[in-house]
Structure 1
């Protein structure tokens, strides 16, 4: 079995959403899943279950970066849109692209992490390395405060190979100075630095 970071999550306050609104959130998650597939060179196996639940397989080195991009992807749907997820890192065996058919320690740990999520948190990885466990709550607090526009910018700028700011400015009809302002307000440069450091280290114990 290979080592993976399995994300098991659900959509916060999904019961207050209409079907179209929830489907829009999952469309954003699907977009993020495709981006992650490109980063890691293997399918992220995005799987939706129980209406508002989802799972994804991420290369362990990208755990923090993926967590932030997934939070940004959902927040792009609106300032109150959010998702929470437990992360389990360990062995995983896949039977196709449907994670409902997968097994291994990473999936078990991921489910337990979601069930044991502290009330004020949105991201939880109790079995990760000390460095990741230290970084995740701080990243969680920053991501929780993102506005919709900051999430738009974070979604692209937190990728391993982000676009130039002029390209984002054109995409969103903003000035380059405004894009830089969102980068600063969202803490993107600092978050990228932490992601880069973690990606140079082993992310399993």
Structure 2
């Protein structure tokens, strides 16, 4: 067994999406971890049950950032795109081929059971506590993001975010528009909170 942080989720109201829209949503979720490379280079991702997905990551301290990145990348596709995210930490076993659909152990069970019971908040942590409280607030704040706000905040959630000038150029808006979008998306408070979470031993 090894220690993992597992994020399990499913697309909300997936039956309202076309096959191509559902595929784009799952692609966006899978791509969120790429923004956290190289620290998540050893992450594992799987799709399951049609609209379901799962991450197993080796760096638990990045779990809140990854959850927010998933929310941001999805919301950039439009307001109709959303996912639930159930997070747990603990021991688990991967099969030799690394396929999460064949994984087992307490952490995978805890994450899956949390997802099955998740009502109301769409981001939650099985352990609760301070991290669970922070994720509850992140969920509330990010649920209000518009696609434009999500598009602005996504590059700024990377491990080494670009300057605001570079980020504005990357997404094709003015630096002033980016700054306004970040402020209205509560980015300054979010990035400070993430730093506190990730600095905690």
Q: The TM-score by the shorter chain falls in which range?
A: over 0.9
Does the residue aligned with 1:40 lie in a helix, a strand or coil? coil
Q: How does 1:153-172 map to 2 (within 5 A)?
A: 153-172=152-171
What corresponds to 1:123 in structure 2? 123
Q: How does 1:1-205 map to 2 (within 5 A)?
A: 1-42=1-42, 44-58=43-57, 59-95=59-95, 96-117=97-118, 119-128=119-128, 130-202=129-201
Q: How far did 1:41 drift? A: 3.6
Runs of 4 or more consecutive aligned structure 1 residues displaced over 4 Å after TM superposition: none
Q: How far did 1:37 drift? A: 4.4
Mapped contact 2:7–2:86 kept (Cα < 8 A): yes
Q: How far did 1:174 drift? A: 0.9
Mapped contact 2:45–2:56 kept (Cα < 8 A): yes
Separation in 1 of the partners of 2:65 and 2:53? Answer: 18
The TM-score, its normalising length taken from structure 1, stands at 0.92
Separation in 2 of the partners of 1:97 and 1:193? Answer: 34
Gaps (5+ residues) in structure 1? none
Separation in 2 of the partners of 1:19 and 1:66? Answer: 25
- Paired residue total: 199
Separation in 2 of the partners of 1:40 and 1:2? Answer: 16
Separation in 1 of the partners of 2:51 and 2:127? Answer: 25
RMSD across aligned positions (CA): 1.4
The TM-score, its normalising length taken from structure 2, stands at 0.93
Note the alpha carbon deviations across 1:87-111, whole angstroms, 9 max, x for none. 1111122223311111121101100
Q: How far did 1:71 drift? A: 0.8
